[in-house]
């Protein structure tokens, strides 16, 4: 039963994600709106190599399922605020720096969420698993694009 629930949740996350934007576009937007690492995707993709238990996998998946929609919304808001600021800077003498506060606060919220996510992953994984996760993250160039000549160690 747990396996079915996990499969349904992963399908929902994937379906929702696919409806909104491409994976590459999403990752570029997420990287653009905050400088912190996106570790969840790497954990879920390399669960076998990281030797996750079912309990660990479920904990990370459920956390992601609960929090990703919030971060998605924040990313969209940052992009909308940036566009608005850009357009206003071309057509108005308004103080753009003052108006940028909302966008900067949204970025801080994303960074806060990402920091909580990393802390959650650290709590769920053991030290060896977390170190291996960081190695994969670095090897995969942050997970955004993997050069074909790089083969990450298992």
Tokens of 135: 């190695």
Q: Quote the DSSP letter at residue 51.
A: T
Backbone dihedral angles phi then psi of residue 87, each to the nearest 5 degrees: -65, -40
Arithmetic mean of pLDDT, 101-121: 95
Answer whether 143's CB lies under 8 Å from 66's CB.
no
Measure the CA–CA gap between 64 and 43, rounded to whole angstroms: 11
Answer whether 83's CB lies under 8 Å from 32's CB.
no
Arithmetic mean of pLDDT, 54-81: 94
Query: Residue 95: which pLDDT band, with cuts at 50, 70 and 90?
Result: confident
Measure the CA–CA gap between 66 and 46, rounded to whole angstroms: 21
DSSP 118-132: HHHHHHHS-HHHHHH
Sign of CA dihedral 85, 90, 96, 99: negative
Q: What is the pLDDT of residue 151?
A: 55
Arithmetic mean of pLDDT, 42-62: 94
Portion of the chain with pLDDT greater than 90, in percent: 51
User: Which of 36-40, 69-73, 86-90 has the highest average model confidence (pLDDT)?
Assistant: 69-73
Largest CA distance in the chain: 60
Measure the CA–CA gap between 55 and 125, rounded to whole angstroms: 10
Residues written for the chain: 154
């Amino acid at each position: 039963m747990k396996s079915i629930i996990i499969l349904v949740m992963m399908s929902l996350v994937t379906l929702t994600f696919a409806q909104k934007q491409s994976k590459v576009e999403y990752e570029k937007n997420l990287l653009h709106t905050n400088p912190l690492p996106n570790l969840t995707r790497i954990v879920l993709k390399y669960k076998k190599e990281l030797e996750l238990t079912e309990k660990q996998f479920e904990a990370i998946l459920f956390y992601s399922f609960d929090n990703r929609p919030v971060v998605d919304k924040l990313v969209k808001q940052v992009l909308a605020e940036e566009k608005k600021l850009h357009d206003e800077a071309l057509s108005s003498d308004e103080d753009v720096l003052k108006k940028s506060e909302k966008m900067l606060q949204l970025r801080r919220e994303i960074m806060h969420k990402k920091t909580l996510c990393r802390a959650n992953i650290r709590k769920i994984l053991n030290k060896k698993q977390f170190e291996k996760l960081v190695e994969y993250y670095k090897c995969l160039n942050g997970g955004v694009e993997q050069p074909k000549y790089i083969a990450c160690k298992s």
